Amino acid sequence: MIRHAVAPPTRSAAQREANEPLPDKSAPLGRFCHKDRIKMLRTPPPVWLQCGHHRLDLSYPRVMGILNVTPDSFSDGGRHVATDDALRHAERMLAEGAAIIDVGGESTRPGAEQISPQQELDRVAPVVERLVRELDALVSVDTSSALVMRETAELGAGMINDVRSLEGEGALAAASASGLPVCLMHRQGEPRDMQLAPRYDVPVEQAVFDYLRARIAACEAQGLHRERLLIDPGFGFGKTVEHNLRLLNRMQELAALDLPLLVGMSRKSMIGKVLGRPVEERLAGGLALASLAVERGARILRVHDVGPVMDAVNMTWAVLEEGGVHE
Name the active-site residue from 215, 228, 268, 299: 268
pLDDT tens figures, 282-325: 999 999 999 999 999 999 999 999 999 999 999 999 999 985 55
Q: What are phi and psi of 325, to 5 degrees?
A: -120, 125
Average pLDDT (96-109) is 92
* DSSP result, 59-126: SS-EEEEEEE--S--TTTTTTT-SHHHHHHHHHHHHHTT-SEEEEESS--STTPPP--HHHHHHHHHH
Does residue 192 have an active-site annotation?
A: no
CA 135 to each of CA 54, 95, 102: distance values in angstroms, whole numbers, following the listed order: 13, 11, 14
Neighbours of 249 (CB within 10 A): 11
Does domain 44-320 sit in CATH 3.20.20.20? yes
What are the structural domain ranges in the chain? 44-320
Q: Which of 160, 143, 167, 183 is nearest to 52 (CA)?
A: 160
Confidence of residue 28 (pLDDT cuts 50, 70, 90): low
pLDDT for the residue 197: 76
Residue 70 vs residue 281, higher pLDDT:
281
Q: 18 pLDDT exceeds 50?
A: no
Q: How far is Cα 77 from Cα 68, in angstroms, rounded to an integer?
A: 7
For the entire predicted model, the pTM comes to 0.84
Does residue 16 have an active-site annotation?
A: no
Instruction: Give the burial class of 203: count Cβ atoms within 10 A of its Cβ; 0-12 exposed, 13-18 middle, 19 or more buried.
Output: middle
